[in-house]
Structures are given as structure tokens and as C-alpha cells.
Copies of this chain bind each other. A is one copy, B any other.
């Protein structure tokens, strides 16, 4: 059986993967499958580890299982899964990034509330601004926090925020056990919350959820933290609201365009932290992905149910 890995791996990581996958053969290619050897391997591989370009998937006739190196799989939503799904199972890294993402989201939020963004800027100026900054700071204590999305990231946020003395309300699908399950509920809650975390996948159903009217309905001074997908938010309306001082700040790990081009107005939006889709990352990330893949590979060989199977009807 040939396994095609489409990830940047160090020599040490290649050995970790090859040793773990033995006796099966591993071919390590680049993510864009630019060279002929990689494309040839894709034609023969039964298993792929990494994110194969969507347009090449239908031609990968031998492929039976693809283990994504991400949670998001929105780039594959336009493929015909009614047909492709009968021969190809796709798994994602559901839950793998949640702790790291929650830490970046809460860290970014606290940085804004506690003035750490301003304080960092003072470092180069060597200016002591204690008296000026202190009365402007806010605390999470006593705030009302809405978590939109009740999957693994939503749960990781909920767990960590629960010890900060804030009130937490969750919104998600009925089967997720969230506090709010209808858009009517969401619309009633949005104007009451001081912080809104977004932790939804990017699907046609979630696109534009945080629309211009919903941004306008949010409480003055509220902070928006987007850890889901850039497609969830009307970015033009967001920038306008931040500039007008209506919204109190934004922490954006995801944006409509990634990498964000230098001319994007988000770069210059006030009180905005752009974490550049790094929230899921940490030093042990790639090793962890390899270990997760190898654990799923054992299940695949044994004919067991794989972890993180994508449901294309839901889109995640």
C-alpha cells in the first residue's frame, strides 16, 4: 500500500512517519503536487496524509482515505461527494487544535481588555502611561460572553472561560446541546453580550452569519473574536464598526483572504488583533499530526471506524 504525505516535514519527522507506517511505503510530496513524481504517487496512493488540491481528487482513482492535516475542509465542499464519497473517506483533525485555538482566542481577548496591545506599543517609546491606561481597562469578570459554535473549540473555550467569573451562553446545533439553537435565539442574545466568540466551520449555512445588521445589533464596546472562518463575518461592515468606535475590538484568527494582502483594510482597523491563522499552532503540532495519522492508520488497517470522518451532508 502506498501512502502519500503532502506536508512539509523535517528529516526527523519523515523518519517518525516512515517508521510508524512501516511496512507500508510513504512517499512525501509537496502540498501543491507540482512535480511529476508526486502526481504519479497520487495516482497510485491508497492513503493520503495532508491536504490534496481539490481539483486533483477526482483523478486520484486508487485513493480510499485522505487524512487532512486541518479541521477545516471547506475547500472540498464544491466537489461531487455523492459520487466521490462512495470510494473515498475523508477524515479531519477534529479536536486536535482546540486547546491551542482557545488559548490564542482568550489570550487575544485579554490582551485587548487589559490594554496589553497599547502597553506593547509603549515599549519602543519607553513611555510610562499607567495613570492614563488604568481607568480604560476592562475585566472579563462580570461580562456576558457568547460562544457561537458548540464543537470542540467551543467546548475548549467554555471550559477555560468558566473560571473567569463571566456568564457564558452557547449557540450551536440542537444536537450539540448548546443553550441557544435557533437564529431567533441568537438575535435576541447578540445585543446583550460583551464578547462574542465565533467557532463555527465554514459552510454555505454559516457564510455571512455575522452580517452587517447583526454587527449593528451588537452591544456598543463589544469584542468579536473569530476563531472559525473568515466567511462567517461581513468584514467591510466589521471594519466600519471598529472605525466608528461602535465595536470595542476584534481578535481575528481567520479572514476572508489568507494570506491577508497588504492593502486589506483589516490591517489598519483600530483595536484589532490579527493572529494570522496561527491560533491552532504550537511547536509540537506536526509531530502531533503524525501521531494522530498513525493512530488512524492502525484503525484503517484493522477495518475500524476512523476518527474525525467528515460528513459531507453537514459540510464538516
Residues of A near any B CB (own CB < 8 A): 99-100, 103-104, 106-111, 113-117, 119-123, 126, 128-130, 133-141, 159-160, 162-165, 258-260, 262, 267, 272-283, 285-286
Contact, CB under 8 Å: B283 / A138: yes
The reply to whether A103 and B275 form a contact with Cβ atoms under 8 Å apart is no
Distance of A51 Cα from B176 Cα, bound (Å): 53
Given A107-B107, A110-B110, A274-B123, CB of A137 within 8 Å of CB of B281: yes
A163 touches B160 (CB 8 A): yes
Q: Which residues of B contact A129 (CB under 8 A)?
A: 276
Q: Is the CB of A116 within 8 A of B275?
A: yes
Contacts of A121 in B (CB 8 A): 120
Tell me if A119 and B274 are in contact (CB < 8 A).
Answer: yes
Q: Is the CB of B130 within 8 A of A277?
A: yes
**Contact yes or no, A136 B275, CB < 8 A:** no
- Contact B273–A119 (Cβ < 8 Å): yes
Cβ-defined contact, B164 with A103, below 8 A? yes
A48 to chain B, nearest CB (A): 21
- Specify the chain B residue showing the minimal Cβ separation from A134: B281
Task: Please indicate the chain B residues that have their CB under 8 angstroms from the CB of A111 in the complex.
Answer: 107, 110-111, 116, 120
B130 touches A259 (CB 8 A): yes
A259 CB to nearest B CB, Å: 4
B119 and A276 form a contact (CB under 8 A): yes
Pull 13 A–B residue pairs with CB atoms less than 8 Å apart, ordered by A. A104-B110, A104-B114, A108-B116, A114-B275, A119-B278, A120-B121, A120-B273, A122-B276, A128-B259, A128-B276, A130-B258, A130-B278, A135-B283
